Amino acid sequence: MRNSRILKLLAPALSLALALDLSLSFAKTEDPVMNAPIGMLAPTPRQALLDQTIARLLSQHHYRQSRLDDRLSSLVLDAYLEDLDPSRMYFLDTDIAGFERYRATLDDALKTGELKPAYDIFNTYLRRLAERTTHLQSLLQQEFRFNVEETLNVDRKDAPWAKTKAELDEIWRKRAKHDMLTLMLSGKDQAAARDLLNKRYDNRLRQALRSSSDDVFQLYMNAVAEAFDPHTAYFSPRNTENFNIQMRLSLEGIGCVLRMDEEQVTVVELVAGGPADLSQQIKAGDRIVAVAQGDKESLVDVVGWRLDDVVDRIRGQRGTVVRLKVLPGKAGVAAAEKTVRLVRNTIRLEKQAAKQEIKRFQGPNNRELRIGIITIPAFYSDFDAARRGDPNYRSTTRDVRRLLEEMRGKIDGLVLDLRENGGGSLQEAVDLTGLFIAEGPVVQVKNAGNDEPEVEKDSDPAQVYDGPLAVLVDHASASASEIFAGAIQDYGRGVVIGDPTFGKGTVQTLVDLNRLTRAKEPQGQIKLTVAKFYRVSGSSTQHRGVRPDIAIPSMLDTEEVGESAQKNALPWDEIAPTRYRGSQALTALIPELARRHQARIAANPDYQAFLRDLEFTREQREKTTVSLLEKQRRAEQERIESWQRERENRFRLGKGLPPLKPGDEIPEGKDSVIPDAALNETAQIVGDLFLLRGGDNASNVLVMGR
């Protein structure tokens, strides 16, 4: 889609705004920053005027057309409290009871520019943070006993608010013990772990005392925006500047979209073609706990830092080295740290480009089946080169067309792999669909307040490829990926295989607040949801995503990923279908394809191993409690490492490679020999489709001439 590239680039700033977390301490120091007064932040007259402008803009121009009323006021309060204290480890139950007086009045405050309630809540939060940090520092003076049977609940988002300080003290005692044990399991002794944790608490203090009135305003305005939908956000002047740097493509770093999650920087997604993506050592859900410049500098712990400060430390000149200490997300709460070395580089289109390979396997009567695989990491286009008139400019559609030409006469079927493709250009989604269908509509776009949707069409009646086709998707396939997959499914042109997609079916635009306020000093921007996508069948891609014809699970098969997991997400709905010429021929074949798929995977040891691996990973990821008994935690860590080693060794044996021994580094990414079971099975399904369509006697050609 037109705006999804913008959204991906905006995500780091948005995540900062939505999840700012600060801590304070009463530690004695000569540093004036450390001795700053606590809980004295207040709004400015400029912010009061900007607050009214933003509230008016949201209520009048957001797709929802929501009124500023008591219902919205309640949503804003809940969003603000959750953004401040997502794990319910700072506020007391009495604090929350006191905030209830604002539940039905924040809407009126937005209309008048009254920001005092927001700052009163934030200042209470700062005081609670100070109390907690003081308690934590006193805890570190004690010796922890790691031979006691205790557990910590690490998922407190739905836990009741603590009623007393003593109750919070106990929660934080276990939290500090868990933090220290995690560091000890990564190789530190208790003294070194205590020293590092003290530095972390000092970092939290410094970050909190640097909080400004603008920080509070951004946090509160994002809570207001969240009440409309999860993709609407306010960007302060500083985050607007960071966004503009990225839009000018001058950002040189590792290619990760990051957010702050419970005081740790968490990887949301990898930018296709970036150093992190190409290394295959970092995955979505991993947590970055320390950063070092070059190969010699010591790692600096960044837990508790502001997200933008961590991003500044990770960003650097092309060709320079950055080292990250990472806690793998897939291993859950019992994860062990690892260090990843990356060479910074500019994200280039050629690294995001579609790639092809051909898989071969034996079909009936020893007939070799050849299935083409085209992996599409993003829907990209080199707009600058196109504007310059460069006849060889890069785009998803151009690259896929070229790959299809290279495979002409060499394949019996085709898989388009859109897993982890977060979207991109809407025009590319439309044009790519046109390679596989005759002319016709591809997607409907409905703006707020308009009864008639706009229809984006493919106007060329020619097809580049009309053979057996499958589209492989997962929960991270979003936006433009969903438009393409939905169109292929609606036209009956190909089989959609995998997980339900992300469900991001909304369109955002950026509004420059300086233009609205005519202010001389920077005011920032609003990212505003203004439209929704609908398939040609009339069904929205919002919230539900595209449902596969044949399900193949993935590591992302979780309720925590996707639009449906977002609070205040716009609902699924449908409009009238547009006129298009689809085919029902494929629909009649899907039951038989599903039957053959089930029979094959039941007898396929590699696929069954894949399912067991998925189940083990889910078990680790979904654990909400962690043991504080050292011997049990070490046993859990060894269990995870043993699983990873045995998983790799299953396939090393078949390739004649020596098995990994305890203590050997476990390879990841390109170095791993574990096959892609989901992709291999998808290729087999396309082979079945080729045979069911009549095999060599069916129409299965590349029709050139577009």
Q: What are residue 98's phi and psi, to 5 degrees? A: -70, -35
Chain-centre distance of CA 678, in angstroms? 21
Query: CA 16, 21, 24 angle in degrees (round to 5)?
Result: 140
So which residues are the catalytic ones? 479, 490, 504
Residue-wise burial string across 160-190, b where 16 or more C-beta atoms lie within 10 A, e elsewhere: ebbeeeeebbebbbbbbbbbbbbbbbbebee
Residue-wise burial string across 563-583, b where 16 or more C-beta atoms lie within 10 A, e elsewhere: bbeeebbbebeebebbebebe
C-alpha 19/C-alpha 452 separation (Å) is 38
Q: How many residues does the chain have?
A: 706
Chain-centre distance of CA 488, in angstroms? 25
Beta strands 413-417 and 469-473: pairing type?
A: parallel
**433 contacts 425 by C-beta, under 8 angstroms:** no
Q: What are residue 374's phi and psi, to 5 degrees? A: -120, 115
**442 contacts 578 by C-beta, under 8 angstroms:** no
**299 contacts 292 by C-beta, under 8 angstroms:** yes
Q: Give the sign of the dihedral formed by CA 256, CA 257, CA 261, CA 263.
A: positive
Residues contacting 81, CB < 8 A, separation 6+ = 91, 96, 99, 121
C-alpha 492/C-alpha 277 separation (Å) is 33
In the structure encoding, which two tokens stand for residue 244, read together? Answer: 């503009």
From the list 522, 633, 648, 676, the residue with the least C-alpha distance to 154 is 633
**Strand, coil or helix: 21:** coil
**Strand, coil or helix: 134:** helix
Q: For residue 261, give Cα distances in angstroms to 22, 385, 500.
A: 12, 38, 25
C-alpha 682/C-alpha 417 separation (Å) is 10
**Strand, coil or helix: 200:** helix
Q: For residue 275, give Cα distances in angstroms to 260, 287, 297, 298.
A: 21, 17, 20, 21
From the list 22, 34, 44, the residue with the least C-alpha distance to 219 is 22
The continuous run of DSSP H or E covering 194 comes out as helix 190-209
Tokens 């990491």 belong to residue: 377
In the structure encoding, which two tokens stand for residue 275, read together? Answer: 């150093």
Q: How many CB atoms within 10 Å of residue 290?
A: 17
